[in-house]
Structure 1
C-alpha cells in the first residue's frame, strides 16, 4: 500500500508527547487485514509493535506502524 492510501481518523489518540496512538480498528483498516490474520501475524512476531492497555485493548504508535511499513516494503523488494 502506498503512502498516499494511508489514513487516520479523529478517533485515534495523541499522547502528551504528541505521538499518535492508533486503535486496532484503525490499524486493521489501514493495512487491509482481518483481526484474526493480524493476531496470527502478531503471534509469529511479524506485526507492528503494539501497546497493551490495562483494559486489554491494543494501541499502535504511528511511528511504529510507519516503521513496520518500511521494513515490509524493503523485505518485499
Structure 2
C-alpha cells in the first residue's frame, strides 16, 4: 500500500526490517510507551507505518561508537 507520502508498512514488514528479532508484542509495548515509530491506525483497526517515518525512527536510534 502506498500514499502520497510513500509506502505504508504493515507491522510484520516493520518487524522483518528489524531482522525478525523483535516480537509483535514488543512492538505494541513500544507503541504503548511512545517509543515506536509513529503509526497510522486504519478504520479496520490495522496499523501501518510510513516508510519515511520508519527510516527516520531507525536513524534516530543510531549511536556513535565510543
TM-score scaled by length of structure 1 = 0.74
Q: Does 2:32 match 1:43?
A: yes
Task: List runs of 5+ in structure 2 lacking aligned partners.
Answer: none
Structure 1 distance, partners of 2:30, 2:23, is: 11
1:28 aligns to what?
15
Q: Which runs of 4+ in 1 moved over 2 A?
A: none
When the two chains are superposed, the root-mean-square deviation of aligned CA atoms in Å is 1.2
Which is bigger in relative contact order (C-alpha 8 A, separation at least 6)? 2
Structure 2 distance, partners of 1:60, 1:18, is: 11
2:2 aligns to what?
14
Structure having the larger proportion of residues in helix: 1
Task: List runs of 5+ in structure 1 lacking aligned partners.
Answer: 1-12
Structure 2 distance, partners of 1:56, 1:26, is: 17
Number of equivalenced pairs: 62
TM-score scaled by length of structure 2 = 0.85
Structure having the larger proportion of residues in strand: 2
> Cα offset for 1:64?
0.2
